[in-house]
Amino acid sequence: MRAIVVLLVVLGTAPLSAADTSPSSSTARHLLAGVRSFKDGKYEDALVELRVVARAPDAPADLAFYLGPTLYKLGRYREALAVFVSSKAAPDALTDFYLGQTYYQLKLYRKARGVFASLQARGLGPVLETAAASYVEAVDTAYRKPPEVVTIDSYIDTGRAALANEPTIAAEYLDEARLVEALGSAHRHDELRGMLGAAWNATGRTTQVIEILGDGAGSAEVRWQLARAYVTSGDAAHARPILDALVKARGPHAEEASGVLAKLPP
């Protein structure tokens, strides 16, 4: 991991200064301890240190670069996935490689394929490029035949179970279901779109809601989630007719839609 090597060199050899008593340097020392433990294969110790860093007000924006791989090494794949996909840091090829592996371990194979296919064009070097290509080939081989309905059901049901308490994880399983469903015939299509919209709205991914549900077709749940995304993004012009239709239909979400309509700017 490039950044880990750089951090060890810079922080490990830099002389101490008066600033080392500040909260910032305390966070840096815990981060360095976590990195060293990771490098030594002491992943539990690394996790303890990185959890301290994560709670610090000055935690680095790229903490996922360290915390995600540590959780992966410990086999805590769902936690690792939540760290990776919630990260606000700029994409990094090595972090994305761990993300692809995490998807693969969780059997989110289409999501994994998307990551590895993207990485193949990013100049990772022969070893990682070969590994990425092997993941892509494995997924393509597995899906040469149309997916079975039971496979889609499994992803949808796992996503549904996680929706209330782990919306980030729910969104990943439901998006996998969407990607797998696209390889065959429609199955629980409307239900899937509604739940995926709910998960993405809950995690602030309104752009994806609008992109996927933007045709406005489907159940009241689908239209409600689309309207929520428009409202959150400040697009009252697109939200209003959807909300209006929900109110007039007097079906699911009519009362909620009425409340949102009353608060929209004229």
Give the 3-state secondary structure of 112-167: HHHHHHHHCCCCCCHHHHHHHHHHHHHHHHHCCCCCCHHHHHHHHHHHHHHCCCCH
The Cα 17–Cα 131 span in angstroms is: 43
Helix extents (H) in 2-89: 2-13, 23-39, 43-55, 64-73, 77-86
- Specify the pLDDT at position 11: 31
- Specify the pLDDT at position 98: 94
The Cα 125–Cα 137 span in angstroms is: 18
Low-confidence ranges of the chain (pLDDT < 50): 1-23
Helices 189-202 and 149-162: angle between axes, nearest 10 degrees? 30
- Specify the pLDDT at position 14: 31
Question: pTM, whole model, 2 decimals?
Answer: 0.87
CB 90 within 8 A of CB 28: no
- Specify the pLDDT at position 4: 35
- Specify the pLDDT at position 10: 30
- Specify the pLDDT at position 68: 94
Interval 193-225: pLDDT, tens: 999 999 999 999 999 999 999 988 899 999 999
- Specify the pLDDT at position 23: 44
Q: 251: how many CB neighbours lie within 10 A of its CB? A: 11
H or E, element range at 254: helix 254-263
The Cα 150–Cα 143 span in angstroms is: 14
The two structure tokens encoding residue 219: 């159940």
The two structure tokens encoding residue 112: 């994994």
Phi, psi (deg, nearest 5) at residue 59: -60, 140
- The answer to whether the Cα torsion of 249, 253, 255, 259 is positive or negative is negative
CATH class belonging to 1-13+21-83? mainly alpha
Interval 24-69: pLDDT, tens: 578 889 998 999 999 999 999 999 999 999 998 888 888 899 999 9
- Specify the pLDDT at position 60: 86
Ranges of each domain in the chain? 1-13+21-83, 219-266
- Specify the pLDDT at position 5: 34
- Specify the pLDDT at position 9: 32
